Amino acid sequence: MSQASEKVKQIVDLFVQLNVMELIELQGELEAKGIKPAAAVAVGAGPVAAGGAAGGAAAAPAEEQSTFTVILKVGGA
């Protein structure tokens, strides 16, 4: 592990103390300054994991399910 500068150590110490609402606020402030997080990448996502598509053609993403059917088998009294 590399030796971080004192400034970086202070930032890390402050960062780990933030609650969720403060992290969301921080994200908004960073985005307002043009700093945007990189998209998450799934481990193993590549041509082989995507079905071996060759030629650099990416498969269209599957539509995310947004409705669900719930069946209650036993009702409460």
Of 4-13, 36-45, 62-71, which gets the smallest average pLDDT? 36-45
Cα separation, 14 vs 4, whole angstroms: 15
Cα separation, 19 vs 75, whole angstroms: 40
**Cβ atoms of 51 and 57 closer than 8 Å:** no
Tell me the per-residue pLDDT of 30-57, one tens digit each, with 9 for 90 and over.
989 998 877 666 666 555 555 555 555 5
**Cβ atoms of 52 and 61 closer than 8 Å:** no
Cα separation, 14 vs 26, whole angstroms: 12
Domain boundaries, the chain: 1-32
**Cβ atoms of 3 and 12 closer than 8 Å:** no
